[in-house]
């Protein structure tokens, strides 16, 4: 008689443990699927996309926009080659992708050149397929980057030409100079299956203008495209397989002037005006 309550208690504890484990597995699988197939959050740690994205922005990236590759999944699981349900980005999209020299690192840039496009910089002006991209001055702009350096220049509203099935893309860029090598380049012809990426902070971005000749595969820089070959930040052309997703919206943003552990500063560091801010 005395054993029954004890056995009943043991059974109940075992059932509770099994239920707890089951709930944990469901949550883990749910998070895995959401991050792999739908939306994944990313933090912006550098200033290469200023003024569009600020250091401390937390952005929502849609994983389904361009289909799926191994880089869509946590740990880059090699489940298949290429892309499944793949589609080509539009010119002007802001995308997260894997760095060409180290695919464990996420980059975020703007799509400037699509396969077959001819891209060049001339005296700081962007040319796509021999047409100069128009821009309107918005006046002086300055901000500090992740290393505390002052970025000071002119903010422009740039008008990228439409790609197939899309409309003109208007967004902001920062220009600090016009006469260095990165502002006077050779012409780049984007290979099939590849993209030409640039940062909106045009003079402080390691992007597709920098091609060191170490790239391999179908997106390798052609002979002669050894621009800044000594740099360890060369991006080169980006394979479409490296795409992770499209940056859709700034969910929230923090100024990050104080250490992350100083939680009492958190309320005053939130940039409330950037909460749920759309990304153009």
Nearest to 244 by CA among 88, 76, 71: 71
pLDDT average, residue stretch 259-270:
85
Q: Smallest Cα–Cα separation from 173: which of 158, 153, 152, 151?
A: 158
Contact, 39 vs 256, CB < 8 A? no
pLDDT confidence of 93, banded at 50, 70, 90?
very high
Alpha-carbon distance of 70 to 263, in angstroms, equals 36
Q: Of all residues in the chain, what percent carry a pLDDT higher than 90?
A: 51
Please report the pLDDT score of residue 1 as a whole number.
47
For residue 221, how many C-alpha atoms fall within 13 Å in the half-sphere facing its CB? 24
Which residue has better confidence, 226 or 140? 140
The reported pLDDT for the residue numbered 16 is 76
Two structure tokens written together for 37: 């197939």
The pLDDT of residue 267: 86
Of 33, 28, 29, the C-alpha closest to 73 is 33
**What was the pLDDT predicted at 168?**
87
Identify the residue whose tokens are 């050894």. 226
pLDDT tens digit string along 27-71? 666 655 566 566 889 999 999 999 999 999 999 999 999 999 888
- According to DSSP, residue 221 is labeled P
pLDDT digits (tens, 9 = 90+) for 133-189: 999 999 999 998 888 889 999 999 999 998 876 778 999 999 999 988 899 998 999
Least confident of 19-23, 113-117, 154-158, 258-262: 19-23
Instruction: Give catalytic residues, as residue numbers.
Output: 48, 109
For residue 3, what pLDDT is reported?
A: 52
pLDDT > 70 in the chain, percent: 86
Rounded CA gap, 230 and 211, in Å? Answer: 10
């Amino acid at each position: 008689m005395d054993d029954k309550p004890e056995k009943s208690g043991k059974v109940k504890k075992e059932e509770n443990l099994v239920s707890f484990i089951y709930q944990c597995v469901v949550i883990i699988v749910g998070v895995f699927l959401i991050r792999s197939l739908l939306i994944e959050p990313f933090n912006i740690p550098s200033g290469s996309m200023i003024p569009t994205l600020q250091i401390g922005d937390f952005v929502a990236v849609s994983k389904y926009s361009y289909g799926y590759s191994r880089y869509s999944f946590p740990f880059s699981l090699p489940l298949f080659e290429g892309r499944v349900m793949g589609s080509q980005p539009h010119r002007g999209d802001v995308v997260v992708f894997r760095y060409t020299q180290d695919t464990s690192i996420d980059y975020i840039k703007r799509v400037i050149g699509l396969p077959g496009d001819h891209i060049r910089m001339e005296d700081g002006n962007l040319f796509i397929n021999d047409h100069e991209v128009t821009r309107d001055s918005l006046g002086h702009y300055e901000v500090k980057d992740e290393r505390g350096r002052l970025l000071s220049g002119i903010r422009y509203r740039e008008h990228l030409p439409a790609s197939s099935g899309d409309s003109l893309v208007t967004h902001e860029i920062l220009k600090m100079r016009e006469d260095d090598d990165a502002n006077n380049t050779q012409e780049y012809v984007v290979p099939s299956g590849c993209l030409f990426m640039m940062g909106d902070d045009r003079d402080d971005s390691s992007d597709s203008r920098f091609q060191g000749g170490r790239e391999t595969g179908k997106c390798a820089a052609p002979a002669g495209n050894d621009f800044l070959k000594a740099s360890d930040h060369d991006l080169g052309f980006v394979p479409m397989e490296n795409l992770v997703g499209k940056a859709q919206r700034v969910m929230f943003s923090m100024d990050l002037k104080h250490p992350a552990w100083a939680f009492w500063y958190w309320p005053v560091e939130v940039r409330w005006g950037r909460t749920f801010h759309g990304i153009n």
